[in-house]
């Protein structure tokens, strides 16, 4: 998320993902395999969790003294919107959206690898050296002959 300059959303996104992954751990069948995806489009970050259990989650109203059952309510509280849909023949996707700050780029800013940065720095210094030598007249010998 820092890659997209979405630092203000980290806590809300982390809470939402944690709750959805907890639901996979507690409820998903036949296995606990899942995939988390994050997508930034325009002014909206969408976080989704895919698992292999076709049963769609249901928002329940947990008793005040209950120690579980509040996960989706917490997701609903921190997100602009959320939902669940079937995914293929078996499985589902549970997702939520958060508003992206207006200063966030719609495309990730590319970060150079150390190798690419070194090449770019070398190329820049070569260009500077070439510009310096363009304006220098050729050396002449001071020796007669």
Give per-residue pLDDT as tens, 111-131.
Answer: 666 666 666 666 666 554 455
Percent of the chain whose predicted confidence (pLDDT) is above 70: 69
Confidence band (pLDDT; 50, 70, 90) for 141? Answer: very low
- Which among 140, 3, 22, 5 has a CA at the least distance from the CA of 71? 22
Q: Which domain holds residue 48?
A: 2-99
**Does 20 reside within a domain?**
yes
pLDDT the model gives residue 88: 84
Total tally of structural domains belonging to the chain: 1
pLDDT tens digit string along 7-18? 999 999 999 999
Residue 125 gets the label, from left (phi > 0), alpha (psi -120 to 50) or beta, of alpha
pLDDT the model gives residue 84: 96
Structure tokens at 103: 């200063």
pLDDT the model gives residue 60: 78
**Does 121 reside within a domain?**
no
**Does 18 reside within a domain?**
yes
Residue range 36-44: average pLDDT?
94
Number of helices and strands (H, E) in the chain? 3, 4
**Does 122 reside within a domain?**
no
Q: Cα separation of 128 and 49, whole Å?
A: 50
> pTM for the whole thing?
0.67
Helix intervals (H) in the chain: 10-27, 71-78, 114-134
Computed on alpha carbons and rounded to an integer, the radius of gyration of the chain in Å comes to: 27
Q: What does each C-alpha distance from 16 to 75, 98, 136 come to in angstroms? A: 5, 10, 63
**Does 135 reside within a domain?**
no
Task: Look at 24 and 68; give whichever has higher pLDDT.
Answer: 24
CATH of the domain at 77: 3.30.565.10
Those residues whose C-beta lies under 8 Å from the C-beta of residue 139, and which sit 6 or more positions away, are none
pLDDT the model gives residue 70: 81
For residues 50 and 35, the answer to whether their CB atoms sit within 8 Å is: yes
Strands of the sheet with 44-51, listed across from one edge = 34-41, 44-51, 92-99, 81-86
User: How many residues in total does the chain contain?
Assistant: 145
């Amino acid at each position: 998320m820092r890659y997209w300059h979405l630092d203000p959303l980290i806590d809300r996104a982390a809470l939402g993902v944690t709750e959805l992954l907890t639901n996979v751990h507690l409820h998903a069948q036949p296995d606990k395999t899942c995939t988390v995806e994050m997508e930034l489009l325009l002014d909206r970050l969408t976080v989704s969790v895919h698992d292999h259990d076709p049963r769609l989650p249901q928002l329940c109203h947990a008793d005040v003294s209950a120690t579980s059952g509040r996960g989706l309510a917490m997701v609903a509280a921190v997100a602009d919107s959320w939902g669940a849909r079937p995914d293929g023949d078996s499985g589902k996707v549970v997702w939520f959206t958060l508003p992206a700050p207006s200063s966030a780029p719609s495309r990730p800013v590319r970060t150079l690898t150390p190798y690419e940065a070194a090449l770019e720095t070398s190329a820049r210094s070569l260009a500077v050296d070439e510009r310096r030598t363009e304006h220098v007249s050729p050396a002449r010998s001071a020796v007669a002959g």
